[in-house]
Structure 1
Amino acid sequence: MTEVSSLTGRLLVATPALADPNFDRAVVLVIDHDDQGSLGVVLNRPTAVGVEEILAPWAGLAGAPGVVFRGGPVSQDSALGVAVVPGADPAGARAGAWAGGGPMGWRRVHGAIGLVDLDAPPELLGAALGSLRIFAGYAGWGPGQLEEELGEGAWYVVESEPGDVSSPRPEGLWREVLRRQRSGLAMIATYPDDPSLN
């Protein structure tokens, strides 16, 4: 059995067999995973809504394409900010910088990736952020639900990289993440969008 905290900070990449349209070819960053359940955001679902339309103070810090992303089917009327803080040391504080491992208003998820307190003043974080994405809603699983889906083969679990959060081509992230794997998963990246046309 996988240790319950082991998926935090990793990516769930939807298998071609996953039938749920909410997660077709989705790449999900797991933000929390424990015995209470799991929470993540879909990294490759940009919307047409600009960040300035819903969170104007944060718009200048949002990376290209500068739109809100559909983080998942749960609580789509709420917003989550995920940001990369370059140089943040996963073991603690950045040399000569922040005590506690990151700037005020940012909570580490994994490595240099963390959650942003969107109620904090943007100027607290502005100089520290390397990239910021705003997500409407999130993907959530109850206790044991994600483990069940993993057992059914719905997801591939792979390591995340800070660049996944700020990919300039989020629509291509599913193929990109699979292609960089050093296993048979790299071949899955060539799986056609519609297998019946193959």
Structure 2
Amino acid sequence: MATDPTLSPGHDGFLSGQILIAMPGIGDPRFERAVVLVCAHDENHAMGLAVNRPVEGLTLPDLLTRLDIPAAEEAPSELVLMGGPVERERGFVLHTDDYSASEASVPVAPGVTLTATRDVLAAMASHQGAPRRSMMALGYAGWGAGQLEDELRNNVWLTCEPDEELIFGADHEHKWSRALAKLGIDPQFLTAQAGRA
């Protein structure tokens, strides 16, 4: 029996480190045209961060100032992203793997690490030992056991390999179409009808 390629891009059959691209007509405005990096996926759950959903008017220096991080105004004036609808008061930093906070940093994809501690925020503000590229997200997208697999079978998401611009680039408006282009798909030819061929 052939394996389903949409469910097994990784050697273990899970999607950690892959990009999810929302199909048109996803039926959930929180994920319309979303590009989500899957940070963890196993038989019990999946967790990811949307990398193209800026929080209106909230920059990294603004957020770091609210959190009383020293030298917050020195941080890059990047937009803070809405990582997903779950625990939106919780922050996550995706960054290049040239920064690590020992056990607090978790590899996500080749060259990309996730850290959710104040240490990485202080490093980003001070520029001392800061990662080369990073993005701050509030909240995350979460799936229970088998839920993401079901959504993939129902053509809710497409998957592609990540790259630094998709994850860290500032052109959030075009990340969805860029992700589709990696698969050779022109967004204007996608239908909002889900189903199987």
Identity percentage over the alignment?
A: 27
AA in 2 matched with 1:83 = H
Structure 2 residues not aligned, in runs of 5+: 193-197
Q: Find the counterpart in structure 2 of residue 97 from structure 1.
A: none
For the 8 Å contact 1:15–1:156, the answer to whether it is kept is yes
Superposition CA RMSD, Å: 2.7
Question: Does residue 180 in structure 1 map to residue 179 in structure 2?
Answer: no
Cα offset for 1:130?
1.5
**Number of the residue aligned with 2:109:** 110
Residue by residue over 1:153-196, the C-alpha shift from the partner in whole angstroms, topping out at 9 and shown as x without a partner, is 10001111122121121111001111132x4xx22x2359x9xx
For the 8 Å contact 2:48–2:141, the answer to whether it is kept is yes
Q: Which residue of 1 aligns with 2:161?
A: 159
SS of the residue corresponding to residue 130 of structure 1 reads coil
Shift in Å, 1:72: 0.6
| 1:86-105 → structure 2 map (5 Å cutoff) | 103-105=100-102
Tell whether 2:102 aligns with 1:71.
no
Aligned to 2:147: 145
User: Partners in 2 of 1:104 and 1:79 — Cα distance?
Assistant: 15
Match of 2:50 in 1: 42
Matched to 2:133, the amino acid is: S
Normalising by structure 1, what TM-score? 0.77
SS of the aligned residue for 2:178 comes to: helix
Question: TM-score of the superposition, structure 2-length normalised?
Answer: 0.77
Question: How many Å separate the matches in 2 of 1:54 and 1:138?
Answer: 17
Which runs of 5 or more structure 1 residues have no equivalent in the other structure? Answer: 87-101
* Structure 2 Cα separation of the partners of residues 71 and 35 of structure 1: 22
Residue from 72, 79, 83 that aligns with 2:95: 83
Verify the 8 A CA contact 1:70 1:136 in the aligned structure 2.
yes
8 A Cα contact 1:8 1:31, kept in partner: yes
Residue 36 of structure 1: CA displacement? 1.5
Structure 1 moving runs of 4+ over 6 Å: none
User: What secondary structure does 2:118 align onto?
Assistant: coil
